[in-house]
Amino acid sequence: MNILIEKRIGNNIRIIRESLGFTQEYVATKLQLEGCDITRSAYAKIEVGQRHLYPDEIYHLKNIFHVPYDKIFDI
């Protein structure tokens, strides 16, 4: 995947998370409860574009944030 796109998507995720007042730890925990094998550190790397997102993580982030996919993928 294109690194610029990954950074943009990660930034979108960070903006959404912060607008909801969620911490990285909270989101990582919610993802873990949904069955995703992710740590807070790995989640932080997603937000800065240093780690790829898996399809199930995208699906669960959409539900955790209660946003449509286009909010996450607005590039």
List the chain domain ranges. 3-72
Global pTM value: 0.94
The residue among 27, 6, 1, 13 whose CA lies nearest residue 69 is 13
What pLDDT is attached to residue 50? Answer: 95
Query: 């925990």: which residue's tokens?
Result: 29
Are 9 and 73 spatial neighbours (Cβ–Cβ below 8 Å)?
yes
What pLDDT is attached to residue 75? Answer: 80
CA torsion angle for 47, 62, 60, 75 (degrees, to 10)?
-40
The fold for domain 3-72 equals 434 Repressor (Amino-terminal Domain) (1.10.260)
Band (2; pLDDT cuts 50, 70, 90): confident
In this predicted structure, the answer to whether residue 1 has a pLDDT above a threshold of 70 is: no
Report the residue count for the chain.
Answer: 75
pLDDT tens, 20-61?
Answer: 999 999 999 999 999 999 999 999 999 999 999 999 999 999
